[in-house]
Structure 1
């Protein structure tokens, strides 16, 4: 879930039939995961206009 006002990403993961919080990253902090595929997310970059 992404909160653009706070530039905060909350990552949930399904485990044993329930979602559990895996990480909360904000601003220029980096979230990286390998499953289900490699991904790298920087919350502040999600709002950048190109």
Structure 2
């Protein structure tokens, strides 16, 4: 889940039928995942304008 006002990403993962928080990153912090495919997300980059 992404909160654009806080530039914060909450990463949840389904475990035994319930969602569990796996990561909470904000600003220029980097979240990296391998599944279901490799990806890097920087919350601040999601709200920066292209100028």
Taking structure 1 as the reference length, the TM-score comes to 0.95
Tell me if 1:42 matches 2:42: yes
Instruction: Report runs of 4+ in structure 1 exceeding 3 Å deviation.
Output: none
How many residue pairs get aligned? The number is 50
In angstroms, what is the RMSD of aligned CA positions?
Answer: 0.6
Q: Gapped runs of 5+ residues in structure 1?
A: none
Q: For residues 20-43 of structure 1, what are the alpha-carbon distances to aligned partners after superposition, in whole Å with 9 as ceiling and x for unaligned?
A: 000000000000000011010000
Unaligned runs of 5+ in 2: none
